[in-house]
Structure 1
């Protein structure tokens, strides 16, 4: 079963458009996983520099914020737009910080390039969700 399938079985109406909700949850989940993987790959790089340590922290912050945002958006019963907006705002900030950090390493670390690209995609979805929430 996919997120889209689950949304289709929802007993009531959802606060967000079903297609946007599906795309947001899926993107947030994927971004969370990729950020965690990037942090792990950074740990495997030889000579862990303070700059790379910062990138790992940013990766892990983004992974956690994306995961929490996904879970809150998935709960549509008695949807609280203020809470959702605050989390999506935080997620947008975390994705921006992570993308910027990873982009600074992207020319010599492919895992950072992939992570930065994913974070930029997640930023776009966050902006769409914020516009939909109002």
Structure 2
């Protein structure tokens, strides 16, 4: 689905107004993505808080990635949840950024004991962003 110019943030699969089924599907997909972003932000913030801030360089990398991922996911969730007028280009950029940061964070978390849940949340968020992006085209 794509957004129409000035279409109020609704999918443009119908030139003027979307059908009720298309609108419901768009809103459901948007909610699923926002929910995955929220879960990832929570898991990454928790992971970052468990790392000793005066630890090794490797621990600092885990802490920084966790903080960055939590912030990007939180911003993406807010964009999906709060804006009634969506700018398609801005939304695509935010979703791509979120997906990229989540995949990088998951990679960093993979080899850290106890970070499996955060890595899984990051991957789930990246998938949700990818799926939502696919639905926009």
TM norm structure 2? 0.78
CA spacing shift, 1:25–1:50, aligned 2, 3 Å: same
Runs (4+) off by over 6 Å: none
Partner of 2:40: 31
Does structure 1 residue 81 correspond to structure 2 residue 84?
no
Offset at 1:75? 3.2
Partner of 2:4: none
Partner of 1:127: 130
The two structures, once aligned, show a CA RMSD in angstroms of 1.9
Does structure 1 residue 66 correspond to structure 2 residue 77?
no
Offset at 1:53? 0.4
The residue correspondences of 1:1-134 to structure 2 (distance < 5 A) are 14-15=10-11, 17-43=26-52, 48-105=55-112, 109-110=113-114, 112-134=115-137
- Structure that is richer in helix per residue: 1
Offset at 1:43? 2.6
Partners in 2 of 1:42 and 1:86 — Cα distance? 30
Gapped runs of 5+ residues in structure 1?
A: 1-11
TM norm structure 1? 0.80
Partner of 1:9: none
Partners in 2 of 1:77 and 1:29 — Cα distance? 19
Partners in 1 of 2:136 and 2:74 — Cα distance? 19
Counting matched residue pairs gives 117
